[in-house]
Structure 1
Amino acid sequence: MQAMLKTRESNFELLRIFAMFCVIVHHSLFETNNIGYNDSYNIGNNGIIAVFFNSCAIIGVNLFILISGYFSCKTPIKNIGKLLIEIICITIVSYLIGGIINQKFELLDLIKLIKWEILHNWFIVSYIMLLFSLPLIEPALASSLTIHKEIKTNLFKYRLKLSYLDVVFICSSILTFFYGFILGILNTDGYNVLNFLYIYVCGRWIRKNINRFQNIKISNFILIYIIISVLLTIYYISIFNNSGTENDSFKTMRYFGYNNPLIIFSACTIFCFFSRLKLKSSLTNKMATAVFGVFIIQGIPSIAETWRFYARLIFENYSYIGLIFYDIILYLICLTMSYSIKKSLVLPIINKYINTINHVFKL
């Protein structure tokens, strides 16, 4: 069992691919102007469909962090260097490609773009902060300490047994859901390192308790995922349609935030579904290494301007079904670009970086 847990089978690599597709769908739905990110929520233009699709796709970011927590990160500082190399290389090449498309190139703009990706892109900044935090929290998560507590009442007697990880999971759940999502203190919407730390803990907790879920039919995870997506749709519409609450991007991100308990639970159910799949595919494993590059490519301003324009055009002519097919094509193009850049440029530089680190610190 331990060997299986330590080996990243193709099922988890397929999960990475699926997670990034969710991110693409989530971002493309902005262009419908129906879900409240770019404009006010609009139920009149099939807004309910948009909200349901977004409810299904909003789990993408949390899935990535769950994977990190499940497998843990053994060398976080080294991984920060690898991450920065990938960001810089893919940003430069993607900017050049975008410059060819739009016939515009400014060296200063490229420098500003790299600076923005590293210092202001909320996902990248939060993930780097998570990696910096891991040397502090990993010892607690790996602790074998067990807490025993006997609870006695007039009606029953119960012996409670909790691992240190269970305690961390329970306490961080209270901080995330009650103080964060409900009260809006610090972790108001999940777009921050505090939420990443919690999702990381969730991933580790799932790994420790994975055997508890073996009796659940694999199809039930999909059923739960669909039910939660419907509940999220009803919840969102109830807030911004039936209650008369005025909608804006801030409130959308607040109520549809990554720290929403339903969104986190939805991500966990899909994670458990993929963990049960039996799949071995070299192609899947290769392409999964390029999914982070897709995130960078689709966010390059010159490229984003182009794909968002066509997303609006496709939506106006072919509605949501056309938009989903467009997302698939866009994803395949970006994934192919990312894989080519990583194989030809990023990996050779990363290998030299790792060899240098190993030589300097005699690892």
Structure 2
Amino acid sequence: MQTKEPTRQSNFELLRIVCMFAILCLHVLHHGCSKLALSSGADILSQAVHDALGFHVNAFLLISGYFGIRMRAKGFFRFFIPCAFYSALIWLVFALYYGEPLTVTGLLKRFHFFYRESPWWFVENYFFLFLTAPLINAALARSRQEVLLFLGLLAFLNIVCGGVLHSGFNSNGFNYNHFVFMYFTGGCIRRFDFSLSRNRCLLGYAVVTALIFLESTFVHAIRDYINPLVVAQAVLVFLLFKTVRVQSALVNSVAASVFSVYLMHDEDVYARGALSSLVRRMGGVNWPFSTGYDFVFIVAMIGFSVAAFFALIIADKILSRLFIDRLTGLADYSYRKITDNIKKWVRL
């Protein structure tokens, strides 16, 4: 008899949606708008949006740590097969568009995504996190003193040595070491049931975001996701959504497709360049911008991000119904049949 999977908590699923929209929006502003000759006022607005939404990846990892990754075949297939499908599909679409040859070698190279030369830096590092999660989960099950000691050690290595001193251990957060740190932090929030009131979270978020804006504008000494202010911002946003009481099948359904939004728009070989080119075309890079137009253009690109986000959600729902869900089900069924046969053979 198959056990029914627990219902996902919609407050954290809503946070997944917010995080992925933030990722898409900031990629539009960074990869597209940053290439345009915009006014200083528009650049300040773009930077303010970036600093307000910079919690996205860290918050994603906090969610994984809070609920814990279970190394199960079904979970692996749900992670691997969408990546494999979109890797192959993006290569096929753009190869046909650019007139590139369709070769078996070219197709096979698209399956390097989970261990090297990945078109998605997040996928490669998350795969390593998936493999080692049982060890991290075991560390989280140790005594309170040991867990806090390990958290302090991870914070020192990542934030102080990496973020502040710029050591190679973790210089910007785009690596496995940072994933372990944020995952472990999320696990600690659950282990110690750490909470803050909604008002304190909102106040803390406002203060930290203002400090991030000042640091990024005038100092910019601590980079990307390992910035301790950005880490604190992600924790505050996570704790804010922890206070939300909502349960919605629609939210859960949309959240189930947000990872595919990332796969479709931020693939590094083809899709990211196509997105950047599209934004530059919409901006008209050679136009003599006025300050007012630049400001409106940034706002318009945020609106474009909203439309693109839901368009990609719909596209994933269609592709999942036609292909991905069937492939995932087939892989899981085949795995169970093979393991059942092996167990029967071993018992003989």
Fold agreement, TM-score > 0.5 = yes
Give 1:213 shift. 2.0
**Alignment partner, residue 332 of structure 1:** 310
Distance in 2, matches of 1:219 and 1:339, equals 36
Question: With CA pairs under 8 Å and 6+ residues apart, which has the higher RCO, 1 or 2?
Answer: 2
Q: 1:106 to 1:355 in 2, by over 3 A?
A: same
Relative distance call for 1:43 and 1:263 in structure 2 (3 A) is farther
Whether the 8 Å CA contact 1:68–1:203 is kept in 2: the answer is yes
Structure 2 match to 1:202: 185
Tell me: CA distance 1:113–1:43, structure 2 relative to 1, closer, same or farther (3 Å): farther
Q: Does 1:27 align with 2:27?
A: yes
Alignment match, 1:243: none
C-alpha spacing 1:287/1:95, structure 2 compared with 1 (3 Å): farther
1:45 Cα offset (Å): 4.8
Partner of 1:151: none
Question: Are the counterparts in 1 of residues 225 and 231 from structure 2 also a CA contact under 8 Å?
Answer: yes
Deviates most, 21-30 or 86-95 = 86-95
- TM-score by structure 1 length? 0.79
Map of 2:58 onto structure 1: 62
1:268 alignment counterpart: 235
Q: Secondary structure at the match of 1:107?
A: coil
Q: Which whole-Å CA distance do the structure 2 matches of 1:345 and 1:92 have between them? A: 13
Matches within 5 A, 1:119-138: 119=116, 120=118, 121-138=120-137
Residue 256 of structure 1: CA displacement?
3.0
Q: CA RMSD in A?
A: 2.7
Whole-angstrom distance in 1 between the partners of 2:41 and 2:228? 28
Runs (5+) with no aligned partner, structure 1: 1-5, 147-161, 241-253
Matches within 5 A, 1:207-356: 207-210=190-193, 212-214=194-196, 216=197, 218-239=198-219, 255-300=222-267, 301-315=269-283, 318-356=296-334
Instruction: Call closer, same or farther: CA 1:29–1:286 in 2, change over 3 Å.
Output: same
Give ranges in structure 2 of 5+ residues lacking alignment. 1-5, 285-292, 344-348
How far apart are the structure 2 equivalents of 1:312 and 1:226?
A: 31
Matching residue of 2:152: 170
Alignment correspondent of 1:248: none
On the 8 A contact 2:172/2:224 being kept in 1, the answer is yes
Structure 2 contact 71–133 (Cα < 8 Å) conserved: no
| CA-CA distance at 1:95 after TM superposition | 4.2
Instruction: Give the residue type in structure 2 aligned to 1:237.
Output: T
Scaled by the length of structure 2, the TM-score of the pair is 0.82
For residue 170 of structure 1, report the CA deviation from its aligned partner. 1.6
For the structure 1 residues 320 and 117, does the alpha-carbon distance in structure 2 shift closer, same or farther, using more than 3 Å as the test?
farther
Quote how far apart the aligned CAs of 1:309 are: 2.9
Helix, strand or coil: the match of 1:75?
A: coil
Deviations 1:155-208 (A, max 9, x none): xxxxxxx3x322221221111111111222211111000000000011111112
Q: In structure 2, do the counterparts of structure 1 residues 25 and 80 end up closer, same or farther at CA, with 3 Å as the change threshold? A: same
Identity %: 22
| CA 1:232–1:133: 2 relative to 1, 3 Å | same
Q: Which amino acid aligns with 2:126?
A: Y
Amino acid at match of 1:297: M
CA distance in 2, matches of 1:208, 1:293: 30
The change in CA–CA distance for 1:312 and 1:264 in structure 2 (over 3 A counts) is same
Alignment partner of 1:193 is 2:176: yes
Matches within 5 A, 1:20-169: 20-31=20-31, 34=34, 44-75=40-71, 79-98=75-94, 102=97, 104=99, 106-108=101-103, 109-116=106-113, 119=116, 120=118, 121-143=120-142, 145-146=143-144, 162=145, 164-169=146-151
